[in-house]
Structure 1
Amino acid sequence: MFDISFTELMLIGVVALVVIGPERLPKVAKTVGHLLGRAQRYVSDVKGDIQREVELDELRKMKEEMETAARSMQTSMQQTESSLRKELQSPVDDIKSEVDEFKSDFEPQMSSIDKQVSNQAQLSEAPPAAQTSPAPVAEPSVKSDAPEAKP
């Protein structure tokens, strides 16, 4: 704190002994010691408070930096997500348009094939008149309620 050498302290002690006197010197030295101790504690408390404020400011700055980084990361992720959706949507739209084109190209052919199939189905369902013969009639079997005898 102060740059005081041993000889300077001796000189101050001799002057204090002469001025204050040998009876009151121990009491004055004790009081000065208490005052210096209080002053040192006060200075250390002030230093600690200042240090805590500096650390608190550093933490606030760090918090703000982290929040800013988090916001920028979030916006970046949202932009990436939207661009990926756009990139993925484009091929899907292309495939849909190709399927629609394919469908429109083959729709007339499919309808004519459907007509041909339905005409052939109608012709195969109706037997020709010359080939119709009466089907043999089977006699219904009579069932009895009595149990059958086993040989």
Structure 2
Amino acid sequence: MFDIGFWELVLISVVGLVVLGPERLPTAIRSVSRFISSAKSMANNVKDELSHELKVQELQENLRKAEKMGMEDLSPELKSSVEELKQAAQEVTRPYAKDKVQTTASDAKEPSPVVEDVVKPVETESPDKKVQ
């Protein structure tokens, strides 16, 4: 990438040793290596996100082509893209459908006894009565 050879690295390390000294050089090397590793990981994350977005865009384009063709006589590539999109849509809506079914089912049930105990007023002795 930078085309740095062995002798260039030796020269850089000697200059670093002279400038920073033997006490601060290991700390400087560690901080530079951390910076380089974080830059590499950030570049990999950006690359992964871009590839994901390109795949999504390609799937959307294939879906538009399929809609224009009237969903008939599609090529195998378009059929597989349409199926992937349908599966992705089902996976996204499934959790919400389950939550909706559970809430409607729980609404139809009667309140649990625990809730009724909390709602009932607590019977206490009146201050007029004296304990004997």
Q: TM-score, normalized by length of structure 1?
A: 0.45
Change (3 A) 1:37 1:62: same
Secondary structure of the equivalent of 2:11? helix
Secondary structure of the equivalent of 1:22? helix
Answer 1 or 2: higher relative contact order, Cα 8 Å, separation at least 6: 2
Inter-partner Cα distance in structure 2 for 1:30 and 1:18:
17
Could you give the per-residue CA deviations for residues 9-63 of structure 1, whole angstroms, max 9, x where no partner exists?
1111111011000111001101111111101101111111111111111111111
Match for residue 31 of structure 2? 31
Inter-partner Cα distance in structure 2 for 1:50 and 1:25:
37
Match for residue 6 of structure 1? 6
Inter-partner Cα distance in structure 1 for 2:72 and 2:19:
74
Inter-partner Cα distance in structure 1 for 2:71 and 2:15:
70
Inter-partner Cα distance in structure 2 for 1:31 and 1:22:
15
Secondary structure of the equivalent of 1:13? helix
* Counterpart residue identity of residue 41, structure 2: R
1:43 and 2:43 are equivalent in the alignment: yes
How do residues 95-134 of structure 1 correspond to structure 2 at under 5 angstroms? Answer: none
Match for residue 57 of structure 1? 57
Inter-partner Cα distance in structure 1 for 2:67 and 2:6:
56
Give the number of equivalent residue pairs: 73
Which runs of 5 or more residues in structure 2 are unaligned?
74-132
Inter-partner Cα distance in structure 2 for 1:47 and 1:35:
18
* Counterpart residue identity of residue 41, structure 1: S
Larger CA Rg, structure 1 vs 2: 1
Inter-partner Cα distance in structure 2 for 1:56 and 1:7:
47
Once the 2 structures are TM-superposed, how far is the Cα of residue 72 of structure 1 from its aligned partner?
7.0
Could you give the per-residue CA deviations for residues 111-135 of structure 1, whole angstroms, max 9, x where no partner exists?
xxxxxxxxxxxxxxxxxxxxxxxxx
What is the aligned-residue identity percentage?
38
Change (3 A) 1:72 1:44: closer
